[in-house]
Amino acid sequence: MSFSHLIDLDDYTVPELNRIVELGTTIKNNPAAYSERCKGKIMATLFFEPSTRTQMSFQTAMLRLGGSIIGFDNPSTSSVAKGENLKDTTKVVSSYSDIMVIRHPLEGSVKAAALTADCPVINAGDGGHLHPTQTLTDLVTLMSEKGRLDNLTIGLCGDLRYGRTVHSLLKALSKYENNKFILISSAELALPSYIKDILKARGCEYTEVSTIEEAIGSLDVLYMTRIQKERFASEEEYLRQKNIYVLDTAKMKKASADMIVLHPLPRVDEITIDVDDDPRALYFKQAANGVYARMALIISILENNLSKQNLISGYTNKDVCCHNKKCITATETYLPHAFKAAGDILECEFCDERLLLE
Ligand code: NCD
């Protein structure tokens, strides 16, 4: 049986994206009207990685829709601690629930779970790869604060390499007309080339700079991100990048009066606390919108209003292995070795890592 999962927003059309954003906005204006919409339905939240906002906003969303929740946020209290693999855990939980939300540290893990799940699956963050529901939150926020998802100049700052929120946001906003991106990062934390190629293929203008000061004066939106300690191979590598970007009130003076600051949160020290008092700092409002965006998504999936995707569409070859050590195929070895082919480049269907054909 196939379901309309949310693994990657690229699987949805622009009209589908617009419909979810519109529904999220409508719910925000009158949440009480939706309080019984998912009555009798059960959502499972399986969080194999820490979370505050994503997990709790999903749970709040389901409760506000009249549904119920089950799940864990600490895999060490589940049978994962006994050595159970991802497939068995998620297969079983999917038979207890109507919709399943998964966050996992390995890239491609949520797609892997969807392959065998008996209910629709939502990607709540798979390692440093994608985080599509944060993007829905961001789109609902942009729509309510800017009134549009096109014709925006957006600066994205910080960990563009491992920042799954950035990857998903760029993939979604590049589908809309005339958005321009200014990528603010160090060379070490630059955006992966497969996403730059998506921007190019969609005709999006982007520039890469290394300081906030170079970009801030021309932005409609500044999207700040945390340097993610947990994604680095070593503490030394993290320490070299830590604190390289700090947005403070002095830098905010260089921004236009209607530039808005977003951040998926958690913040560590990349935005000073006094910036919170600036009316352009909207990250707490953005986090609140996460509930409405997720209510809209849950309704759209449970009521079958979204396209169903081919989870594995490309070429499989058991003799070729993905090189990414954080790819789910490296640990769950029963998975097919599936690749999308583009010329002499293969892209892993789970984590998008590129490998050159010999
Ligand atoms: C982000 C995440 O988990 O990727 N947080 C979130 O979901 N709001 C960003 C981060 O952890 O830095």
- 46 in a structural domain: yes
Give catalytic status of residue 53 as yes or no: yes
Is residue 357 scored above 80 in pLDDT?
Answer: no
Q: Which domain holds residue 61?
A: 9-131+289-302
CB distance 54 to ligand 1 below 6 Å: yes
Whether residue 83 is found in the same domain as residue 118? yes
Give catalytic status of residue 242 as yes or no: no
Mutate to test the pocket of ligand 1, among 49, 52, 54, 58 (most ligand atoms within 8 A of CB): 54
Are 284 and 262 in contact, with CB atoms under 8 Å apart? no
Query: Which residue type, as a one-letter code, is found at position 160?
Result: L
CA-to-CA distance for 241 and 120, rounded, in angstroms? 38
In this prediction, residue 356 carries a pLDDT of: 75
Is residue 358 scored above 70 in pLDDT?
Answer: no
In this prediction, residue 1 carries a pLDDT of: 65
CB distance 103 to ligand 1 below 6 Å: no
Ligand 1 atom, smallest distance to 54 CA? 7
Whether residue 163 is found in the same domain as residue 45? no
Banded pLDDT at 307 (limits 50, 70, 90): confident
Angle at 125 between CA 95 and CA 225, to 5 degrees: 160
- 205 in a structural domain: yes
CA-to-CA distance for 181 and 177, rounded, in angstroms? 12
CA-based nearest residue to 43, from 117, 110, 97, 123: 97
Interval between CA 220 and ligand 1 midpoint (Å): 22
Whether residue 216 is found in the same domain as residue 125? no
Give catalytic status of residue 267 as yes or no: no
Question: Does residue 266 have a cis peptide bond before it, meaning omega lies within 30 degrees of 0?
Answer: yes
Which of 103, 161, 164, 175 does the annotation list as catalytic? 103
Give catalytic status of residue 103 as yes or no: yes
Whether residue 157 is found in the same domain as residue 262? yes
In this prediction, residue 239 carries a pLDDT of: 92
Whether residue 168 is found in the same domain as residue 196? yes
Interval between CA 165 and ligand 1 midpoint (Å): 7
CB distance 264 to ligand 1 below 6 Å: yes
Provide mean pLDDT across the span 49-54. 94
CB distance 228 to ligand 1 below 6 Å: yes
The per-residue pLDDT for range 152-164, each reduced to its tens digit, is: 999 999 999 999 9
Paired with 327 in beta bridges are 107
Find the farthest-apart pair of alpha carbons in the chain and give their distance in angstroms, rounded.
58
In this prediction, residue 118 carries a pLDDT of: 97
CB distance 129 to ligand 1 below 6 Å: no
**204: CATH:** 3.40.50.1370
Whether residue 159 is found in the same domain as residue 194? yes
